[in-house]
Amino acid sequence: MPDTLAYMEYLKLAEPDTAKVEELLQNFFKRFKNAQADVCLLTKLIKVYLDSNREEDAQRWLDFMERNGPSPNNFTYNAWITYHLERENYSKAREIKDRFVTIVHLFRNLF
């Protein structure tokens, strides 16, 4: 049975084809009904959507991660920042950076 790392490799192969990526992820969630995808897999999914200019789909997954886990990491937020910088949307890139810095600051204050 394929594990998360295997699915990451499948995603790399399917990356330009978002329909194939969605199919692979649906298959992943069916096979691992009680398991959550890890942050790497979901970040890869977000990056695929952003690379395909499907910002709403990517935003849906970022919101899912922030609500349900796994928590987005610096790679997740960097994908978003890069996406907005490439489109010269500097205010949105700054907003994402500030959001990430706030989350890191809150997390550090917990411990």
Classify domain 4-110 at the CATH superfamily level. Answer: Tetratricopeptide repeat domain (1.25.40.10)
At 90 the pLDDT is 93
At 34 the pLDDT is 54
> Residue 13 in contact with residue 5, Cβ under 8 Å?
no
At 13 the pLDDT is 64
pLDDT band per the 50, 70, 90 thresholds, residue 76: very high
At 37 the pLDDT is 67
At 97 the pLDDT is 85
Residue ranges per domain, the chain?
Answer: 4-110
Residue with tokens 């970022």: 62
- Nearest C-alpha neighbor of 43 from the set 18, 62, 28, 56: 62
Per-residue pLDDT tens over the stretch 88-104: 999 999 998 887 777 66
Per-residue pLDDT tens over the stretch 14-37: 666 667 767 777 776 666 555 556
Residue with tokens 């979901």: 42
User: Average model confidence (pLDDT) for the chain?
Assistant: 78
Tokens of 86: 């490439």
At 41 the pLDDT is 80
Say if pTM beats, i.e. exceeds, 0.85. no
